[in-house]
Amino acid sequence: MWLPRWRRAKPWQCRWCGASCGVMETDPGLLMAAVRSPYQRDPAWRGRLAWLLVSAVLLWPLLVLTEFRPWRMLDSRSLQVTAHFLAGFLPPALDADFLRVVARETWRTVAIATAGVTLALLLAAPLALVATAALSISSLSGRMGVVPFVTRQAARALMVALRTVPELVWALVFVRVVGLGPTSGVLAIGLTYGGMLGKVFAEILEGSDEHPTRTLLANGGGRLQAFLYGLLPQAAPELTSYTIYRWECAIRSSVVLGFVGAGGLGQQMDSSLKMLAGNEVATMLLVFIGLVWLADSASAWLRGLLR
């Protein structure tokens, strides 16, 4: 390793083992002698160098593809627009009319989320029940029959399909079909969350103790009875807890969906942004953060209550 001459070691100086070295606390910048051991090179160095080069090579196209030019945000026109917008943030719009609008839209957001999750539950409950292998009567006597097996896999596949399409895409499609407004939001949340809830419900049901359910089925009980008396009692707390958690997520989703026209606080924020009305956006951001925090606390409290 190359060092400038004034830093290179003198022969009698500072090899810790046995030589003179009494100055450490007054010389914190002391560099150890760069006496390279004649036979030891760091074997990991090649690998590290290779990683560094590969990362640099991969980084370049990333910067190009994303048109990442942060200095453009600092040119005079950009700065003017940004400064004007940010200046509008204070004071946040607090006039009565606007606050009324915001309150109404906030309630609509919560309503969209609630309605969406209700729809999702209506969708997820039957799907989860169908997909649960624990309720399979045919498998009581060994392997599951073909038809029940296929039905179960189909239910699973449907849930996966519902989950994988982003809810924003559903919302976009529904807005085209039914027009702007909360309906598309409710449907989008209902479908996506139906898939999510269904999958997790099925997992929770599968994870519970199967024995009471199998016993009920084996003794001739119907599937619904087996579910209500066997699976549901033990799984209920978990099921409820997850539903509440998803409701809280749905509130955030419905704000996001509002940006494509699904109503609620998001739609209002979108229109205010397009008008560059900084003060309105500031109020709504604050309300949004407050809403999320409130929903978070409520959800945590409820879940603690149910434990």
Partner 1 sequence: MSAGPPAFERLPSGLITPRVRAGSVLLAAIALVVASFWSLDLQWSALWSRDSLAAMARFAGEFFPPDTSALFVSKVVQATAETLAMSALGTLVAALFGLLLALPAARTHGGALWRVPTRLLLNALRAVPELVWASLMLITAGLGPMAGTLALALHTTGVLGRLFAEAIENAPPAPAFALRAQGARPAQVLLYATLPQVAPQLLSYTLYRWENNIRAASILGVVGAGGLGQLLSYHLGLFQMGRTATVLLAMLALVLAVDTTSYFARRAMTR
Partner 2 sequence: MKAAGSSLQLEQVSVRYPGGASQTRPALADVEFKVDGGEHVALVGPSGAGKTTLLHVAAAALRATRGRVLLDGQEPWALGSRSRQQLRRRLFLAPQVPPLPPRQRVVTAVLAGRLPAMSLASSLRSLLYPLDIGAAHEALEPFDLGGRLFDRVDRLSGGERQRVSLARALLAPARLWLLDEPLSALDPVRATRALQIVRQRASQRGITLVVSMHQVDMAMTHFPRLIGVRAGRIRFDSPPSQISPEQLRSLYEREAPTPEPSDVAAEVETGETVAVPMVWR
Which residue ranges make up the site for partner 2 (CB under 8 A)?
1, 15-18, 20-22, 24-25, 27-37, 40-45, 48
Query: If you write DSSP's letter for every residue of 55-97 in order, what string do you get?
Result: HHHHHHHHHHHTT--GGGGGSHHHHHHHHHHHHTTSSPP--HH
The enclosing H or E element of 103 equals helix 96-131
Scanning the structure block, which residue is given the tokens 């599951």?
144
- Are the CB atoms for 256 and 168 separated by under 8 Å? yes
- Least separation, in Å, of the C-beta of 26 and partner 1? 14
* Beta carbon nearer to partner 2, 4 or 220: 4
Pick the binder of partner 1 from 98, 201, 227, 288 (CB under 8 A).
288
Alpha carbon distance 193, 185 (integer Å): 12
Residue 90 binding target from partner 1, partner 2, none, CB below 5 to 8 Å by type: none
Determine the 3-state secondary structure of 13 from DSSP: strand
Pick the binder of partner 1 from 102, 105, 106, 115 (CB under 8 A).
115
Pick the binder of partner 1 from 14, 85, 180, 221 (CB under 8 A).
85
Pick the binder of partner 1 from 62, 90, 146, 147 (CB under 8 A).
62
Query: If you write DSSP's letter for every residue of 157-202 in order, what string do you get?
Result: HHHHHHHHS-HHHHHHHHHHHH-SSHHHHHHHHHHHHHHHHHHHHH
Scanning the structure block, which residue is given the tokens 């997992």?
203
Residue 43 binding target from partner 2, partner 1, none, CB below 5 to 8 Å by type: partner 2
Site residues for partner 1 per CB under 8 A: 61-63, 65-70, 72-73, 78, 81-82, 85, 107-108, 110-112, 114-115, 118, 164-166, 168-169, 172-173, 176-178, 182-183, 186, 252, 255-256, 259-260, 266, 269-270, 273, 276, 281, 285, 288-289, 292-293, 302, 305-306
